[in-house]
Amino acid sequence: MDTLDEKQEIRLLHITDGGSQIVLEDESRWKVAPYFKLEVFEHWTPGDKVAVRDVSDDPNYPWTIFNTDEGFEVAAKRIN
């Protein structure tokens, strides 16, 4: 995994629908792959720093959102 540049980081604003959706401070809304929603619900919190990347092994969720505070990434797709 590449080292993150701090300029790529953005804050997590909201977690909704039991971890299945997140909203970032730029007001972009993301649907989290179902197999990651429990991780997001239990361990991610508003205010965490994340970085969005265009690399994912799941074609249905083509983006990766890396939580730099938790050290965990999830597959996601942008819904707005």
How does residue 2 score in pLDDT terms, banded at 50, 70 and 90?
Answer: very low
Distance in angstroms (rounded) separating the CA atoms of residues 50 and 3: 13
Residue whose tokens read 């909704």:
16
* Angstrom distances, CA of residue 76 to CA of 18, 22, 68: 15, 9, 16
The pLDDT assigned to 7 comes to 47
The highest-level CATH class for domain 7-78 is mainly beta
Mean pLDDT of 60-69: 96
pLDDT tens digits, 36-53: 999 999 999 999 999 998
pTM to 2 decimals? 0.86
Rounded Cα distance, 73 and 65, in Å:
5
What pLDDT, in 10s, does the model give residues 3-40? 434 447 999 999 999 999 999 999 999 999 999 999 99
Q: Which tokens is 5 given?
A: 């540049």
| In the chain, where the domains are located | 7-78
Half-sphere exposure (Cβ direction) of 58: Cα atoms closer than 13 Å = 16
